[in-house]
Amino acid sequence: METPYYLIDEQRLLKNLKTIERIRRVSGARFVLALKCFSAWSVFGLLRRYLDGTTSSSPYEARLGREKFGKEVHAYAAAYSPQDIRAVRPIADKIIFNSLSQLRRFAPVLRGRDLGVRVNPGVSYSHFDLADPARRHSRLGVTDTRALVKALGLLKGVMFHFNCENDDFKDLSRHLDLISDVYGPVLRRLEWVSLGGGLSFTKEGYPVGRFTKKIKEFGDRFQVQVYCEPGESVVTGSAELVTTVLDIVRNRIDIAIVDASTEAHMLDLLVYRQSAKVKEAGRGRYRYMVAGRSCLAGDVFGTYRFPRRLKVGSILRFTDAAGYTMVKKNWFNGLKMPAIVVKRRNGRTQVVRRFAYKDFVGSLS
């Protein structure tokens, strides 16, 4: 198959979904897919069986959730325009505001609708300041508890999105206890509470049983429907970016240039200054920097060791390439965009989308 392409493996997806199914069944929590992380609707047929719906960060995502996934649609945005409200009003089951000012502004045209607001509890978990929802001067969520209480007549629920790649259950448990203590009087007057996403509960070794018990106790204590909004926890480990080595050059170190790009195809590697995981790499005597084919000098996937020499035509697979990749891919340098390929549970491999010059031209004017 011609590279580059993203390969989504449904059997690997199913492993994560089975974990979510167990948590849902025991805890009573509902799980909605965060489309900002993963929107490859070619596998929504499988995800739909195990998830309760989708959550969005824009009207386009909300519409995608309604048209391609169905079930519950949660709409959220850091700020809505009047046009945005007109777009999400007929398709969203829950409309969540980022501020009380926007809630008050649009509530009159949304009478009878299920409205919520994002709350910033002032605590968070993130490895990166860039992604920390409670960072200094964060614009994300309501911080004034007294003002929140005054607005309860307009609300049916609240969303706490205070984690990013949190694989520390003790930290989550401690923060959930804090939220319970600080916001208890508010929570008892609501119908639902979303705990947001960013929780790595499908990571190997995560105490799923304790997590399940914790969110069940939280829901039972306040008699609310608990929602979780996983993105990466749904798709972690389920996809690869498959590439081919086009050239090998040397500048004090051997550098293998592949037919993909961090800037265009795995942007988070650049944003967070991380290295990609390479399936073929590990211990070995042959050391290579693996770089992308764009003109950006820092377009580098990382430096690795391989058990055998790389050569032109060698296949390299960048693993864990589902979350925040396809939703961020772009046409930088006019590089060929990777196809999207799905390996179905029956073992059949299906090319679900190829991108061509007409798509590049169509993205411009």
Nearest to 53 by CA among 199, 214, 225: 225
Which residues face 7 on adjacent strands? 240, 341
Q: Which residue has the tokens 């914790």?
A: 214
> What H or E segment, with its residue span, contains residue 349?
strand 349-353
The structural domains of the chain, with segments of one domain joined by +, span 11-235, 239-321+329-362
What fold, for 239-321+329-362? Lyase, Ornithine Decarboxylase; Chain A, domain 1 (2.40.37)
CB 282: neighbour CB atoms within 10 A? 10
Residue matched to tokens 């048209």: 67
Supply the pTM of this predicted model. 0.95
- The SS3 of residue 312 is coil
The per-residue pLDDT for range 148-196, each reduced to its tens digit, is 999 999 999 999 989 999 999 999 999 999 999 999 999 999 999 999 9
Q: Which two tokens stand for residue 311?
A: 């050569």
Structure tokens at 325: 């990749």
> Rounded CA gap, 10 and 8, in Å?
6
pLDDT at 147: 97
Burial class (CB in 10 A: 0-12, 13-18, 19+), 313: exposed
Domain 11-235: which CATH number of 2.30.30.30, 3.20.20.10, 3.10.20.90, 1.10.260.40: 3.20.20.10
Cβ atoms of residues 326 and 340 within 8 Å: yes
pLDDT of residue 260: 98
Q: Tell me which DSSP letter residue 202 carries.
A: T
Radius of gyration of the chain (CA): 22
CA nearest 28: which of 174, 241, 214?
A: 214
Kindly give the parts of the chain with pLDDT less than 50: none
Tell me which residue of 342, 335, 326 sits closest to 356, measured CA to CA: 335
Structure tokens at 291: 């770089």
